Structure 1
Amino acid sequence: MKDGPDIAQMAALIGDPARANMLTALMSGKALTAGELAREAGISPQTASSHLKKLLEGGLLHLRGQGRHKYYGLSGEDVAQTLENLMGLAAGRGHLRTRTGPNDAEMREARVCYNHLAGSKGVQLFTSMQTRGFLDISTDSVVLTAPGSEFCSAFGIDLDTLSKNRAPLCRPCLDWSERQTHLAGKLGRAMLARMEDIGWVSRKPDSRIIRFSRAGIQAFDKQFGV
């Protein structure tokens, strides 16, 4: 027997089509019930229950109770990043869903990747901040520079509060549709939340799609022009 992590077990958990659809639905960052996940996967509630049990036991999901209801979510940002990377690999090898339409274009422009901005707009934000010296990517990690801290504070990000959480402040995440990096981590999450707070963007109901208001897209392009 070979030593080391059992990647076959993880691959088998993600590789089942029904479970893959469930995990993809949770990439919106919104917790969903078993019934909602069953509909996303196109399977019966009984079958969904079996799949969810396996995902919980495999450590890919967590379960929260709220009154009489139970909600499922991804167990962490590392799971979301793995799924995003797999989407990029699938897209790069031509393994795409056959159905295309307006939603496909919207998903590629701006969407939620678990809790941060992805798509072409997410890449634009990252590239702009890197070009202006706000992010240092000279090493394998992404570091917020002193000018970057000043910019984020002026943008309305409370960096002191973010620093109290031990999770990484900045993380690079490979965008599956753009094949370039967008910003994840606590800062990526805070940037998206701030744009929602000031009315630049809103989330399309029951979707990962992020929509910019007319004023929001103008302000975003002015602030993060490349």
Structure 2
Amino acid sequence: MDLAACKTLDADDGNSAKPLIPSPGIVSPLYQEVVYSGQPQPLEARAEVDVPLEVIYYPSPTARWFDEDRYDEVPVNTGVYYAKIRRPSWNGYAQGEDVEAEYHIKKATVEIIAEGIQRAAYNGDPKRVVASAEPDVPLSFSYYPNANAARAAIRALAQPDADARSGVSAALSGLRRVERAPIEQGAYYVVVYFPGDDNHNLAYREVVFTIGPPARRN
């Protein structure tokens, strides 16, 4: 008998399978909120150990349950996304059960930048309020010669209730408004307004705008 070819029953030949380490737990929050930025914003997914994770996004809890209608890309637009964090087997770690998370992308705030009191000198040409927005969104300008009445109505524009805003719009429609940038001398109450959209909140800025006498020539 070739004793060199024999192995003892309790000898370790180095080929026996090593037990897998349990998948590390997820430590990132399972409810997260971010603000719309115009760029893809992935859900933060972190485990107790630095292992690769996969995040899948769905439009509803039902879609997540049945693993259907998944989004192909990281979300950009505002809304509620239902995520599934997958923990694949990796480098000695066992595959873990999927972990569910809820992800909200909220509307961004628009800042309208304009001096509250602006003046211009009459010269027969239209005069416009100077304003800009951050981020850059289209702005509308409404010029009201009846400053006091317009001011009272505009105060309610920031109401979050849609019916309240609709009532304000109706009230403003009954006031005389200069449809274009004014030419004549006088004091105007100006509303610089952004109505909001799918990804941005409503914003407005009030400006008192005076067109005064022509500049004197020396």
TM-score, L = length of structure 2: 0.25
TM-score, L = length of structure 1: 0.25
Q: Which has the higher strand share?
A: 2
Q: Which has the higher helix share?
A: 1
Please say which structure displays the higher CA radius of gyration.
Answer: 2
